[in-house]
Structure 1
Amino acid sequence: MTTDVRMIEPGQIEAPAGQFRFLFLPGRDLFARRAARFRFLANGHSLGDYLFFLALLADAQQEALNRFPTISLPDPEEEALCREHGMPLLGCRSLRRNPAWREGLTTILQRMGEANLPVAAQETVASLMHADETEVEEMADRILAGDMDGISPRQLPFVAAALQVYWAQMVSALGDGVCGRLEQGGLCPVCGSHPVAGIVRTGGKEQGLRYLCCSLCASQWHMVRIKCSSCESTHGINHYSLEGSNGAVKAESCDDCNSYLKLLYLEKDREMEALADDLATLPLDMLMDQEGKVRRGPNLLFHPGRV
């Protein structure tokens, strides 16, 4: 592992606010793009079989999104209230879920049931197909609350994938200007979830700017660099990368709160996708764990107990 430390005030490296976009919402081809990235990363990777399984899961997510029924969204009064009080419009803990999200889960399970999966995965798909609605809803509640204890690592990816589809469906109907900044800059302004990773963009007015990518809805929002996305400290920020890597993915850690979050540098690889490339760099998580650092945001398709 290599480490570098920089002490730069945020204002020194970023354009004045208002000269660049604050928020990027994912397109309706989100999961198709993610599946393609998983397949690319699986080629010759030590975790190739696992990444290919996730490519199949992303394919199933795209089908579920394409077939998702139209659902109601917060009205203009709710939008105005959320903006006024700095609350996420589609709050993952406060929003009452439409039962249609379970229809998305059924579509995902049916699609995965048709794939040539290992026996253990086939058994998991079958068990979820026959699971009680209350049990599934309770799992969803725990996932959205960040409480993975008691959730089967085998069931987690399927239920979390359905939740991602549900929020992607809602997000796709929003306009970029609907959601404003939250008081806590490290949380998604759309749904209030933690980021899965940060992305340092390249090109245009956003050149060199950091955007955090939501672990749930995949929205990307701006947060200044060299600032902890957890406690917002600007001191004791360190960057770690794997020996022999090209530096496209680094872990940014904070001494003040002892957390870390990965950063993806698009200037090194424009095709990187936050969730996929995060899972393809699990060895970096293992090394950060050895350093005693705590991961800031979850990857909802991977049980934290496995790192």
Structure 2
Amino acid sequence: MQRILQPGEIETLDRIHFPRVRLPQPATLFQERAARLRQLAEGNPIADYLRFAARLVDAQHRRASAAPAPQPLPADIARRASEHGMPLLPASEHLPDGWQAGLRALLADLQGDAAVPAGLAPVSAALAALDDAALDDLARQVLADNIGREDLAAAPLVMAALQVGFAIRAGSLAEKDVPFAEPATVCPVCGSAPVASVLRIGGEAGGHRYLHCAVCASEWHMVRVKCSHCESTRGVRYQGVRDAGTEQAGKGDTAQPVLAETCDQCHTYRKLVNQEKDPFVDPVADDLAAITLDLLMGDTEFARASGNPLLAIEKPLAV
């Protein structure tokens, strides 16, 4: 007699079943990122900045450890997002509760730290003096990547506080809460752009490419033959610092853990970090440390698709 398998049993037999999304684990996320930043600082041309970034991420870890549990997700929000194929909690519309107090605590935590540049003190003081409404306005500008030269130094500090709140909220979700959002190039949780993509190892996610959200640290699957910016499957290639040229997407076998994934259709690039080459890679930390690759890409036709939350760079003037 044949037995009818239940859905859960079918999935255990399906070798191609893997997580559609990987939600953050705030208890370890920032701690591991700080350790990676310190490791990458050794011999790096921007070692001092990486060590400062590590201290900033240390402060994020302390804020995440002290933060209260988020409020449960209202059922109507998940239903509406699923029905309309939209991100669950668009970042600019759903700033985390109490993130302003978290920012002030983070700034106080950095005071007097030798790894923090002295020039950052007046920036921190100015931020701490803003009221909640002004901070919310600035946060929305930072999230929209719409800041002027005067706010460049403040942006990573604001983003650091926001990341804590967004990661805690995203980490409290279940995979079933997260909709299939369109376009697939933005985070289905908060609607933000990815900082980089990561080729994962281990468990069901092993061998699959995920985009890593720059804001809430959620990850969502995207096949490796697609551009992570325009979703084209034509002209996607990988290029690294030591490459003599480019390699066809999916066919390269370079030992480099960080590559630039370029697209001939939209003329952008975004980095791919590969756990198969280094199991300790972190999308945010490794993207930041591989700034030499960005400098080399500056001499090509490809523009960076999105920025790194730990570094704000002035946009070139439109010609």
User: Shared fold (TM-score greater than 0.5)?
Assistant: yes
Structure 2 residue aligned with 1:216:
215
Amino acid at match of 2:191: G
Judged with a 3 Å threshold, the aligned counterparts in structure 2 of structure 1 residues 206 and 72 are, in CA distance, closer, same or farther, namely closer
**Structure 1: which 5+ runs fail to align?**
1-15
Kindly indicate whether the alpha-carbon contact (under 8 Å) linking 2:96 and 2:166 is maintained by their aligned counterparts in 1.
no
TM-aligned CA deviation for residue 178 of structure 1? 1.1
CA distance in 2, matches of 1:123, 1:147: 22
Structure 2 residue aligned with 1:263:
272
Structure 1 residue aligned with 2:104:
106
What SS does the aligned partner of 2:262 have?
strand
Structure 2 residue aligned with 1:180:
179
Aligned-CA RMSD value = 2.0
Query: Which residue among 21, 24, 27 is the counterpart of 1:23?
Result: 21
Kindly indicate whether the alpha-carbon contact (under 8 Å) linking 1:236 and 1:255 is maintained by their aligned counterparts in 2.
yes
CA distance in 1, matches of 2:71, 2:287: 32
What SS does the aligned partner of 2:93 have?
coil
- Please list the CA deviations of residues 5-43 of structure 1 after superposition, one character each: whole Å capped at 9, or x if unmatched: xxxxxxxxxxx9971111111112211111111111112
Larger mean Cα displacement after TM superposition, 59-68 or 261-270: 59-68
Report the TM-score when normalising by structure 2: 0.86
2:113 is the alignment partner of 1:115:
yes
Q: Write the mapping of 1:1-307 to structure 2, written as runs, cut at 5 A.
A: 19-28=17-26, 29-95=28-94, 97-116=95-114, 117-243=116-242, 246-305=255-314
Amino acid at match of 1:209: H
CA distance in 2, matches of 1:33, 1:265: 16
Report the TM-score when normalising by structure 1: 0.89
What percentage of residue pairs aligned between the two structures are identical?
37
Judged with a 3 Å threshold, the aligned counterparts in structure 2 of structure 1 residues 292 and 171 are, in CA distance, closer, same or farther, namely same
CA distance in 1, matches of 2:96, 2:289: 32
Amino acid at match of 2:190: C
Judged with a 3 Å threshold, the aligned counterparts in structure 2 of structure 1 residues 128 and 17 are, in CA distance, closer, same or farther, namely farther
TM-aligned CA deviation for residue 170 of structure 1? 0.8
Amino acid at match of 1:273: D
TM-aligned CA deviation for residue 224 of structure 1? 0.7
What SS does the aligned partner of 1:202 have?
coil
Amino acid at match of 1:66: S
Structure number with greater Rg is 2
What SS does the aligned partner of 2:77 have?
helix
CA distance in 1, matches of 2:234, 2:91: 31
CA distance in 2, matches of 1:107, 1:168: 17
CA distance in 2, matches of 1:260, 1:25: 24
Larger mean Cα displacement after TM superposition, 121-130 or 79-88: 121-130
Structure 1 residue aligned with 2:5:
none
Judged with a 3 Å threshold, the aligned counterparts in structure 2 of structure 1 residues 151 and 103 are, in CA distance, closer, same or farther, namely same
Amino acid at match of 2:300: E
What SS does the aligned partner of 1:304 have?
coil
Structure 1 residue aligned with 2:248:
none
CA distance in 2, matches of 1:151, 1:18: 49
CA distance in 1, matches of 2:132, 2:206: 46
Structure 1 segments, 4+ long, off by >4 Å, are: none
Judged with a 3 Å threshold, the aligned counterparts in structure 2 of structure 1 residues 304 and 226 are, in CA distance, closer, same or farther, namely farther
Kindly indicate whether the alpha-carbon contact (under 8 Å) linking 1:73 and 1:170 is maintained by their aligned counterparts in 2.
no
TM-aligned CA deviation for residue 150 of structure 1? 4.5
CA distance in 2, matches of 1:72, 1:202: 32
Structure 1 residue aligned with 2:3:
none
Judged with a 3 Å threshold, the aligned counterparts in structure 2 of structure 1 residues 151 and 169 are, in CA distance, closer, same or farther, namely farther
Structure 2 residue aligned with 1:7:
none
Structure 2 residue aligned with 1:11:
none
What SS does the aligned partner of 1:196 have?
strand
What SS does the aligned partner of 1:111 have?
helix
- Matched residue count: 291
What SS does the aligned partner of 1:239 have?
strand
Higher RCO (C-alpha under 8 Å, 6+ residues apart): 1
Structure 2 residue aligned with 1:6:
none
Amino acid at match of 1:253: T
